[in-house]
């Protein structure tokens, strides 16, 4: 076999492998992007026929932090939520949704803790910790993964700023 032909064949195989890897990466990015919007528009009612969810606050917006008992990052996120709770406007509040019936993390009294495994499963975001913004009817309007306390702070500050802009 001619050396030039061998080089062309090897390069063609490498290009095909590169295209296959790119297609796989593109598919994974699309899956992650779709997962980010998972749960938006979902009504979180505790049982069929219920009027509102335990996560909803009449006349307000709940910033719900979904955590699980095996989450090593959740402690940092909960500390940041404790700092931010005092700075939220009066019609916004934090709630922590945990799958652990023995959840006992130290949090300010202004943060509601909901230990309901069924409601935790109903909040169908595929990642934890997660932030869900729930309106007064129990409908999820926004979801986002929260990988650190800084990420939570950034998202909450942006939500408060957008809320103030809409009121002006």
Contacts of 156 (CB under 8 A, 6+ apart): 63, 84, 88, 131
Would you give the end-to-end CA distance of the chain in angstroms? 76
Is residue 66 domain-shared with residue 142, that is, in the same domain?
A: yes
Average pLDDT over residues 6-26: 93
Mean pLDDT is highest, among 10-19, 48-57, 96-105, for: 10-19
Asked whether the bond before 129 is cis by omega within 30 degrees of 0, the reply is: yes
- 128, part of any domain: yes
Q: Name 75's Cβ contacts closer than 8 Å, sequence gap at least 6.
A: 105
Same domain as 86, residue 26:
no
Judge whether residue 55 has pLDDT over 80. Answer: no
> Six-digit token pair at 84?
């931010």
Question: Is the per-residue pLDDT at 133 higher than 80?
Answer: yes
Please, are residues 77 and 96 in contact by the beta-carbon 8 Å criterion? no
pLDDT higher than threshold 80 for residue 21: yes
| Mean per-residue pLDDT, 90-104 | 85
Tell me: do 93 and 126 sit in the same domain.
yes
State which residues form the domain around 152.
Answer: 61-167
User: Per-residue pLDDT for 72 more than 90?
Assistant: no
Q: What integer best gives the mean pLDDT of the chain?
A: 81
pLDDT of residue 165: 54
- Percent of the chain residues past pLDDT 70, beyond the cut: 83
Residue 56 lies in a domain: no
Tell me: pLDDT of 50 over 70: no
Range scoring the smallest mean pLDDT among 29-33, 43-47, 101-105: 43-47
Total domains in the chain come to 2
Q: Is residue 48 part of a domain?
A: no
| Higher per-residue confidence, 141 vs 66 | 66
* Residues 14 and 73 occupy one common structural domain: no
Is the model's pLDDT at 90 over the cut of 90? no
């Amino acid at each position: 076999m001619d050396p030039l032909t061998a080089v062309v064949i090897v390069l063609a195989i490498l290009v095909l492998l590169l295209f296959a890897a790119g297609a796989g990466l593109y598919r994974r990015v699309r899956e992650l992007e779709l997962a980010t919007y998972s749960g938006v528009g979902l009504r979180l009612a505790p049982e069929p026929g219920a009027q509102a969810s335990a996560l909803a606050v009449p006349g307000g917006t709940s910033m719900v932090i979904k955590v699980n008992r095996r989450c090593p990052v959740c402690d940092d996120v909960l500390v940041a939520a404790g700092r931010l709770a005092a700075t939220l406007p009066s019609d916004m509040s934090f709630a922590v949704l945990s799958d652990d019936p023995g959840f006992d993390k130290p949090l300010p009294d202004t943060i509601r803790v909901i230990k309901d495994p069924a409601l935790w499963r109903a909040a169908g975001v595929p990642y934890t910790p997660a932030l869900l913004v729930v309106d007064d009817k129990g409908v999820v309007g926004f979801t986002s993964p929260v990988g650190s306390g800084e990420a939570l702070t950034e998202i909450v500050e942006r939500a408060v700023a957008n809320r103030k802009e809409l009121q002006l």
